[in-house]
């Protein structure tokens, strides 16, 4: 279950709020990876030990020394995970983020319309600019990037040139993650009820029809919310 949202000023509304553990759960990633990528980490021993900074500065400041992430941070992490699955080393991804950020002129370059349209070219140009094209097979990698970008954007909604919503359950419109609503918790799209509330209500009531009436949510959406929460528990 996602934690209670902290008090925020109006200027922070619409960003979304996630701890590293919450983001990892939604992304099906180890929490350690999220903490390393956005919290930084130490590597090496003795005199060779050095600090590796975060891949980028999260949208929100730490809370009591713990990471607090925004929605755009989480979407960027989806791409980092996908690039890691392609076998790209983290130092190369770090350099490519810097080049892509400069090219797109946004702090979160992967969660943009331009990256959806030109992502393959941008990333390959980033690798060339970073002087790392020699370590990969660019010909084969072009097709891999095309597939990764297409698959990752498939369940994302873009407005005003940036990702605004994520449909996290089988790309269904019934469940959304929207930083403008419920502080970015997964919710039933039409009614705005958090999926965890619907799943817990089903356990307590034991009746799909009753939960549907109580929360004014269509039965099939309640079922989707329950199934979605089950996938999170299984992750």
Domain that includes residue 178, residue range: 167-235
| pLDDT, average across residues 170-191 | 97
- Domain membership of residue 151 (yes or no) is no
- Domain membership of residue 211 (yes or no) is yes
The pLDDT value recorded for residue 182 is 94
Summarize pLDDT for 85-144 with one digit per residue, the tens: 988 888 888 888 888 898 899 999 999 999 999 888 887 777 777 666 555 565 566 668
> In the chain, which ranges are E strands?
18-19, 41-43, 50-52, 68-69, 156-159, 162-166, 175-177, 186-188
Summarize pLDDT for 189-230 with one digit per residue, the tens: 999 999 999 999 999 999 999 999 999 999 999 999 999 999
Summarize pLDDT for 5-57 with one digit per residue, the tens: 444 444 457 899 999 999 999 999 999 999 999 999 988 888 888 899 999 99
- Domain membership of residue 159 (yes or no) is no
- Domain membership of residue 10 (yes or no) is no
Tokens of 54: 């975060």
- Domain membership of residue 22 (yes or no) is no
């Amino acid at each position: 279950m996602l934690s209670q949202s902290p008090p925020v000023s109006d200027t922070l509304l619409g960003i979304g709020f996630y701890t590293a553990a919450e983001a990892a759960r939604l992304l099906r990633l180890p929490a350690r990876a999220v903490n390393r990528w956005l919290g930084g980490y130490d590597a090496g021993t003795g005199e060779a030990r050095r600090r590796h900074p975060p891949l980028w500065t999260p949208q929100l400041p730490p809370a009591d020394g713990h990471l607090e992430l925004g929605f755009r941070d989480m979407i960027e992490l989806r791409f980092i995970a996908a690039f890691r699955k392609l076998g790209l080393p983290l130092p190369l991804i770090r350099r490519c983020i810097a080049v892509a950020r400069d090219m797109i002129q946004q702090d979160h370059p992967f969660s943009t319309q331009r990256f959806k349209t030109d992502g393959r070219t941008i990333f390959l140009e980033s690798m060339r600019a970073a002087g790392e094209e020699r370590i990969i097979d660019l010909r084969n990698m072009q097709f891999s990037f095309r597939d990764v970008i297409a698959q990752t954007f498939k369940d994302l909604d873009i407005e005003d040139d940036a990702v605004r919503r994520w449909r996290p359950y089988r790309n269904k419109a019934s469940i959304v993650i929207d930083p403008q609503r419920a502080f970015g918790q997964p919710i039933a799209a039409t009614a705005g009820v958090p999926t965890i509330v619907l799943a817990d209500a089903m356990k307590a009531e034991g009746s799909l029809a009753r939960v549907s009436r109580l929360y004014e949510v269509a039965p099939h959406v309640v079922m989707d919310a329950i199934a979605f929460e089950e996938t999170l528990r299984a992750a």
